[in-house]
Structure 1
Amino acid sequence: MAPPRLTSTSTSTRVSAHRIGSLLFCPACGTLLDLPKDEQDEIACHQCGRKEPASSYENLPTKTYSSPNAFPSTLRQKRALVQNKVQDGEAAKDRDPVAQEKCQKCGHIGLSYKEMQLRSADEGSTIFYKCLNCGDQTSTNN
């Protein structure tokens, strides 16, 4: 969206004065202008010396736009990191290895499995099986 423009006739050529948000810019050289004091009638550019009537910039509506990415926060970054890890974990669940074992409930051959260390380190691990057909779950201790 283009910045709001005002036409100024303070010189012989017609030049547009610039205002972006609450910032005022010199229409001749583009230098950032100081905001006028209450008693000032003109705004003078310190770079090129051009003077603009202060009334040119009065009562103009200011529209601002932003997006969630415009103001990054550590909390938002941590939340995104946790969400990515959870999604990666869910994707890993879908890719559990499959053993060519028979389901005790429905007889289907093909059980996904995963191994977890639930007991102390000097004892064996526990293997959890899940039937790909009926979803029945069993476990065995190694």
Structure 2
Amino acid sequence: MATIGSLIFCTDCGNLLPVSKGNTKNILKCDCCGAENRVTQSKPSDFPSLLRQKLSTTQSVERHKIQTEAYTNETCDQCGRTEVRFSAVQLRSADEGSTIFYTCECGHKWNTNN
């Protein structure tokens, strides 16, 4: 018996087997050639996969450990420093620009709308 998606075919003649006509022992009888085909099911654990293991692992991220800022060449109005940290946040609707938040080492903070 061969399976393609949810379709099951007879191994002897290749005829499409009617899934609704199976008996309690998971045997499908072919209407064309009379062959009995056993239906089995496999579990995901029967086929180990590195990708499946990675997807099933629960990951937790602590917010304070996420690096959301980068450095840019922007001049601080307070101290004149030319390299400050920035982060971009989408505060308005999607068709409008993002808001850029700047932070200087001196503690001065400001923002601009793109």
Normalising by structure 2, what TM-score? 0.44
Greater share of residues in helix: 1
Which of structures 1 and 2 has the larger relative contact order (alpha carbons within 8 angstroms, sep 6+)?
2
**TM-score of the aligned structures, taking structure 1 as reference length:** 0.36
